[in-house]
Amino acid sequence: MSNGTVGAGRGHLHITDLVAGYVPGLPVVHGVSIEVDRGEIVTVIGPNGAGKSTVLKAVAGLIAREGGRVRLDDRDVTALPAHEVVSSGIGFVPQTGNVFTALTVHENLKVGAHVIRGALNERLQRAYALFPPLAGRRALRARTLSGGERQMLAIARALMTNPALLLLDEPLEGLAPIIVEELVRGLRKMITEEGTAVILVEQHAELALSLTEHAVLLERGAIVHRARSQDLLKDHATLDRYIGLRVAEAKG
């Protein structure tokens, strides 16, 4: 990676006892601690309303953090506003409203690069290499893209800041299996080549567990279970208890 990049050689996130919510004094997340290392994907799963997206928004500086600490490598980013969180090396891709629909694919990517200087062409080429379908659509406005292509664009736009850590909020929701494969292929390539750390929030627990290394299970704003993803995928009793996922029955 070229000199001056934000995420080069970094990517260890340590969330400790995070307390956060949307209304002061009424936290949604209570004492959540998550650690994710460079080149690793950690998935956060749980029932609707468990606080999964709230955790990501708190780390991204989009909502108030009332307690705990968020550290990226040796820097405390707990109290930083959202734009400084991005500059520190954290990229956030929300579930909706994650691209500028009136701009072209290429313009979206250039806008995403504004927080750091230099090597713009290199970053553009990397984005198109990670998600090849975007290359042939670079002159099209984002509103003309399919749902899967928009998600690719949203992730590629976040990567234009060279983040050490990427926060993904349900990126696979509503996508056809073939599009999921394309998206996951790009993510895997990104992690392998860039060493980016990823926290993935995904409503489809079985799919998320099959894609990641480690998992935390959230319920009512608190972590109730931690495990290797493959181990949790086999723990049918725990999945059924907390999210009603009967994996054994679903597989016949």
Q: What is the pLDDT of residues 97-156, one digit of tens each?
A: 899 999 999 999 998 887 666 678 888 998 999 899 999 999 999 999 999 999 999 999
CB neighbours of 15 closer than 8 A, spacing ≥ 6? Answer: 32, 33, 34, 35, 55, 59, 68, 69, 70, 71
Give pTM, 2 decimals. 0.88
**Are 85 and 165 spatial neighbours (Cβ–Cβ below 8 Å)?**
no
Closest C-alpha among 221, 220, 215 to residue 239: 215
**194: its two tokens:** 């860039």
pLDDT at 1: 33
Q: Is the pLDDT of residue 50 over 90?
A: yes
Instruction: Give pLDDT tens digits for 5-49.
Output: 344 446 689 999 999 999 999 999 999 999 999 999 999 999 999
Distance CA 194, CA 115 (A): 19
Least confident of 112-116, 151-155, 185-189, 199-203: 112-116
- What secondary structure does DSSP assign to 173-201, as a single string? TT--HHHHHHHHHHHHHHHHHH--EEEEE
**Are 106 and 139 spatial neighbours (Cβ–Cβ below 8 Å)?**
yes
**Domains, the chain, ordered by start:** 13-250 (3.40.50.300)
- Residues facing residue 123 across a β-bridge: none
CB neighbours of 188 closer than 8 A, spacing ≥ 6? Answer: none
Average pLDDT, the chain: 88
pLDDT at 112: 81
* 177 residue type, one letter: P
Distance CA 64, CA 51 (A): 14
pLDDT at 197: 93
3-class SS shares of the chain: helix, strand, coil, % to 5: 40, 25, 35
Least confident of 134-143, 177-186, 192-201: 177-186
**1: its two tokens:** 């990676």
φ, ψ (nearest 5 deg) of residue 234: -90, -10
To the nearest whole percent, how much of the chain has pLDDT over 90? 63
What phi-psi label fits residue 218: left (phi over 0), alpha (psi between -120 and 50 degrees) or beta?
beta
Q: What is the mean pLDDT of residues 73-85?
A: 92
Distance CA 236, CA 198 (A): 25
Q: Is the pLDDT of residue 91 over 60?
A: yes
Q: Is the pLDDT of residue 251 over 60?
A: no
pLDDT at 209: 93
10 Å CB burial of residue 64 (0-12, 13-18, 19+) is middle
Please, which pLDDT band fits residue 3 given cuts at 50, 70 and 90? very low
